[in-house]
Structure 1
Amino acid sequence: MLMRKILIVEDEFIEAKNLQRMLIKAGYEVSGIANSVEQALSMLKNERPDFVLIDIFLRGASTGVDLGHMLRSQHVPFLYLSANSNKSTLDKVKSTRPYGFLVKPCREKDVLAMLEIAIYQHENRLPDPSPDAALPKDLLIRTGAVETDSYPAIIGQSETLQHTMRQVHMVAPSDSAVMILGESGTGKEMIAQALHILSPRKKGPFIKVNCAALPVTLIESILFGHEKGSFTGAAGRYIGKFEQADKGTLFLDEIGEVPFDVQAKLLRTLQEKEIERLGGSDTIKINVRIIAATNRDLEKEMAEGRFRIDLYYRLNVFPIYLSPLRQRGDDILLLANHFKDKFCLAEGKALFEIPSSVAHKLLTHPWPGNIRELESAMRRLVLLYSSQQEGLAEAVLQPQIQYKEAPSESNLNADQDVKTWHEYERHYILHTLKKCKGKISGENGAAKLLDLPPSTLESKMKRLGIKKGDY
C-alpha cells in the first residue's frame, strides 16, 4: 500500500493518540496532531497531508466545520469523527461535502474502513456529467420501445431524465456503491437494472431485495442465509441473498426499512466482504456490488437515530436522484403511450390514440404515485376504452379519489389552500383506506387498489402519520 500522510485534528489527547496508533499500525503516516483549527492551518502551511481526520468541536473559536470549508476550498480531502450527530450538526457537516462521518466512540475497524472508502472516492471521484455530453448508443432513452429481457425500457426526453442517465453511464462500469433516491414509483429498480446491465458484472446475477417486505424476524436469515436447525423452522440450509448475488449485483430496495440492529451486521458485511450464515461457523467470502434505494430522508433518519451514519456513508458513495413524475412534464405522454401500447398488446386489443380529454388530465394530474400510478391508469384506459368517451378521463384517473385540477396562475389567490405533495399522498391513502373499510391487504384491500405491496403501504402510513383511528 502506498504510504499516505494523515493529519489528525482532535483536542482530546487520548482520542488523538489512539487514532495515531491505529493509523500507524495500518500502514499510514501521521503527519501531525492538531488540537485546534489554528494549529491545523499552521501545520498545513508546512506540509500538505493526503487526508485530514477532523473532530467537530475543538479548542478555540473555530470548529471542525469551519476547517472543513477551508479544506474544501484548498481541495484537501477530509472526513469527520464526532460524538455529536444531531440534525443541526449533520446539516452543517453536509454543507462542507466531506468524504465521510463516523460517530464516536468508533471501532478501529470502522475508522480504517471509512478511511479506505474515502481514499477510494477521492482517487476515483467522478465529475458531474456535462449537460452537453451525448448519451452512448446502448444507453439512449427509449421513446416508445417495449421492454426486453436485456434492458429495461426507460422512457422519456426530459432534461432531468437525461441528466440521470448520464450519471448511470458514468458510474455503471465502476464497482462503487450507488444510492438511488426518489419517491415511490419513480423507477428506482429500473435504474438499478440498467446499472447492472451496463457494468462488467452483467453476466452475473442481479438479485433484488425489497427490505420493506422482509419480516423483521427473518431479515437476517434472508440476507445472510442460515444452517439447518439454526432456529425453529429452519428445516434445511438456506443460501442468503448476499451469496446468491456473488460476482453480481445486490439491489437493496427500501434500505431505510432495515432494522437498526441488522444495519450493524450489514455494515460489517460490506466492510469485510464476508458473511456467516445464521447458525454457521464458517466465514464465506463474497464479491458483490451494492446498489441501494430509498424514498426516505436518510439524513433525517440518521439525526433521529434510526439509521447508522457509517452505513449511510458506506452506501452513499455515488447518489443518483430520480425526479418525481410531476417534474417530468415532457415525459408524461411518452410514458402513457408506451404503457397504453403495452397493455393493448397484452389484452389483444387494437392500438388507439389517447383521447385529448384524457391527455389533458394526464398533464394536469399531480401523480402522487408517480410512474407506477400512471402505468395503472393506462391499464384502466385500455380496459375501459370504447367509442363512448364521456367520463373516460375521470374513470381512468380518479377511481379512488377526486383531485382538484391545479389552479391556474390567473385564479390563484392568497385565500386558496395549497397542499404539499405529502398532504396529497396522505389524503389519497386515507380516502382509499376508508373506501376499503380499513382493509390493507388481500382482495379488495387498499394495497391492491393503490398497486403497492402491503408492507410498502404500511411503511407509507407510518411515515405519513396515518393511524387506525384516522380511517
Structure 2
Amino acid sequence: MKPKILIVEDQFIEAHSLERTLLKSGYIVPPVARSVQEGLRSIADQHIDLVLLDIILKGDQTGIDLARELNKRNIPFIYLSANSNRKTFEEAKVTEPYGFLVKPFREKDVLVMIDIALYRDKQKKSGILKEPSPKKALTKAEDEIPNSIIGNSWAMREMYEQIRIAARSNIAVLILGESGTGKELVAKEIHALSARNNSPFVVVNCSALPANLIEPELFGHEKGAFTGALTKRIGKFEQANDGTIFLDEIGELPADDQIKFLRVLQEKEIEPVGGKTKKINVRVIAATNRNLEQELANGKFRLDLYYRLNVFPIKTPPLRERKEDIPMLARHFISKYAEEAGNAITDVSEHVLSELLNYEWPGNIREFENFIFRSMLINDGPLITKIPPLLKASATTGRPDKTRIENERTHIQRVLLECGWRVSGKGGAADILGMNASTLNSRIRKLGISRPHKL
C-alpha cells in the first residue's frame, strides 16, 4: 500500500498541483490542510507517513510551529518554501526537516525528494542508521563501493549509505567537509554507481576560475563573442551533457556569479556567451569546505542557490574522526606507491602506527597519503620504522583548546616554513599537503597567512 502524504499549504494553485502529482503517482492524499490547526487535526485523526509543509500559513502559527509537533510524533516532513529570509531558514533548519522543496515545484523534483525522505525515514525507524556494534565490520563487497574509497569505520559506513541513496536519482548533491577529506572521490562514486556512469564526469575547481572567465569556462562562448574569443568554445556544462558535473569549492564563487547556476539547476539550460540558450541534461554535484550557513549569514552565498544545491547533503568525515581506518589506509597507500618508492615495504611498525594514531591530521587524507609516501622514501623495509620530522614536530604542538581554523593555520604556516614558503612544484607546500596550488593559495588568503619579513 502506497504511503499517505499530507499537504499543508494555504496557496490553492501550489496545493492543487502537488495533490495532482501525488495522486498520479499512486500516493494516498488526505484533504489539504491550510493552517497549523487543520494539519494537527489531520495527524490526530489518521496515520500520516509524510508531510509536505509550507512555512508561511494562514493564521498566527507557521509551518515551523507544526514541524515541532511533527518531530514529537516522529512524522517526517519536507518544507515547501519560496522564502528567502535567512532568519526563517535558520529557524526551519533547527527542526531537522528531510529537505526543502523550492517553489515553483517541478514534478520530478517533488517525487525524487519524497522517495528519498521516505527511504531515509524507513532506515532511521528500522535502526539501520544507528551505530552498529564495532564487532560487525562490513566488508567492501557488502558495501558495494568501488575500492577508490578506503575505510571501514562507522563514519565511513554511514557515508557509503548516503552515496548509495544519492546514486539512485539525479538530484543535486552538496558534499561538505574539510580540505583533504576526499570530496571529489565521493562525487566520482556517486557518478559511478548512477545510471549516468557511461557518460562524462567533468570536474570544475571553482576556486581556480578567474572572475572574468567564469561564464565562458562553464557555459562556453561563440567565436567573436568577446575580445580574444578566436574560436568557439564548449563549456564545462555542455561537456558534461548526459553525465555529471562536479563543482568543487563552490563556496569560492563570487555572489554575483552564483545566480548563473540557478538557471542550470532550475531550467536545465545554459546560455553560451554570445550564443543561444541550449537545453542540457546534467547532474550537478557541488562541494565546499566552507561553512555555507555562515556564508549565508555574511551575505556571501545566495540562499536560493543553497536551497537548490542542498537537496541531499553528504558530509565527508575528517580523518581524526575515523582513526580506526588509519592502519587500512596506511597499507593501501604503501601498496599504491610500492613501485614508485622502489622498496619492499609492506606495512608500518607498531611504534609508527602509534604515532599515526596520536596525530590529528589537519590536512586529512591528502596529508596522510603524502606523508606515507615520504616515509617510504626514507625506509628500506619491510616496515616503516622512521618517519619525517614534520609529524614528530607538529604532533605535539596542536592544542585541543585551539579551534580547527587555528590549528589549520598553524599547520599550513609550519609546512610553508619547512619548504621555504614555496607553494607549488615538487616539494612545495601544496605537494607536501597533498592539495593543488590554487586551493592552497585560496586557503592562505582565507586564513590571513602572510610571509614574515626578514630582519
Q: TM-score range by the shorter chain?
A: 0.7 to 0.9
Q: How does 1:12-411 map to 2 (within 5 A)?
A: 51-55=52-56, 60=60, 62-71=61-70, 73=73, 75=76, 77-82=78-83, 84-86=85-87, 89-98=88-97, 111-113=103-105, 117-118=109-110, 120-125=112-117, 126-127=119-120, 128=123, 130-131=128-129, 137=141, 139-140=143-144, 151-281=146-276, 283-386=277-380, 392-395=386-389, 397-398=391-392, 402-404=394-396
User: Aligned residues, how many?
Assistant: 425
SS in 2 for 1:112: coil
Give, in angstroms, the shift of residue 53 of structure 1. 2.6
Conservation of the 8 A alpha-carbon contact between 1:224 and 1:275: yes
The whole-number CA distance in structure 1 between the counterparts of 2:238 and 2:405 is 38
The whole-number CA distance in structure 1 between the counterparts of 2:312 and 2:202 is 20
Q: 1:92 to 1:228 in 2, by over 3 A?
A: same
Q: 1:118 to 1:461 in 2, by over 3 A?
A: farther
Q: 1:470 to 1:334 in 2, by over 3 A?
A: farther
The whole-number CA distance in structure 2 between the counterparts of 1:375 and 1:219 is 32
Conservation of the 8 A alpha-carbon contact between 1:224 and 1:239: yes
Conservation of the 8 A alpha-carbon contact between 1:243 and 1:286: yes
How big is each residue's C-alpha offset from its partner over 1:132-186, in whole Å with a ceiling of 9 and x where there is no partner? Answer: 6977837446xxxxxxxxx452222211111211222233122222222111111
Give, in angstroms, the shift of residue 227 of structure 1. 0.9
Q: 1:388 to 1:167 in 2, by over 3 A?
A: closer
Q: Name the structure 2 match of 1:147.
A: none
Q: 1:59 to 1:229 in 2, by over 3 A?
A: same
How big is each residue's C-alpha offset from its partner over 1:235-267, in whole Å with a ceiling of 9 and x where there is no partner? Answer: 111111111111111111112112212211101
Q: Name the structure 2 match of 1:455.
A: 438
Which range is displaced more, 416-425 or 376-385? Answer: 416-425
Conservation of the 8 A alpha-carbon contact between 1:172 and 1:196: yes
SS in 1 for 2:283: strand
Conservation of the 8 A alpha-carbon contact between 1:381 and 1:396: no
Conservation of the 8 A alpha-carbon contact between 1:6 and 1:28: no
Conservation of the 8 A alpha-carbon contact between 2:79 and 2:97: yes
Give, in angstroms, the shift of residue 226 of structure 1. 0.9
SS in 2 for 1:82: coil
Conservation of the 8 A alpha-carbon contact between 1:208 and 1:251: yes
How big is each residue's C-alpha offset from its partner over 1:176-219, in whole Å with a ceiling of 9 and x where there is no partner? Answer: 22222111111111111111111111111111111112222111
The whole-number CA distance in structure 2 between the counterparts of 1:173 and 1:377 is 36
Letter matched to residue 113 of structure 2: Q
TM-score, normalised to structure 2, is 0.80
Unaligned runs of 5+ in 1: 10-18, 103-109, 142-150, 407-415
The whole-number CA distance in structure 2 between the counterparts of 1:453 and 1:259 is 20
SS in 1 for 2:104: helix
TM-score, normalised to structure 1, is 0.77
Give, in angstroms, the shift of residue 310 of structure 1. 1.8
2:409 counterpart (426, 433, 436):
426
Which range is displaced more, 171-180 or 196-205? Answer: 171-180
Q: 1:24 to 1:278 in 2, by over 3 A?
A: farther
Conservation of the 8 A alpha-carbon contact between 2:196 and 2:243: yes
The whole-number CA distance in structure 2 between the counterparts of 1:396 and 1:155 is 24
SS in 2 for 1:243: helix
The whole-number CA distance in structure 2 between the counterparts of 1:136 and 1:391 is 29
Q: 1:286 to 1:388 in 2, by over 3 A?
A: closer
Give, in angstroms, the shift of residue 369 of structure 1. 0.4
The whole-number CA distance in structure 2 between the counterparts of 1:59 and 1:469 is 61
How big is each residue's C-alpha offset from its partner over 1:59-82, in whole Å with a ceiling of 9 and x where there is no partner? Answer: 64x454223323554555432343
How big is each residue's C-alpha offset from its partner over 1:94-145, in whole Å with a ceiling of 9 and x where there is no partner? Answer: 122346669xxxxxxx72147863553124433147256977837446xxxx
Give, in angstroms, the shift of residue 33 of structure 1. 9.6
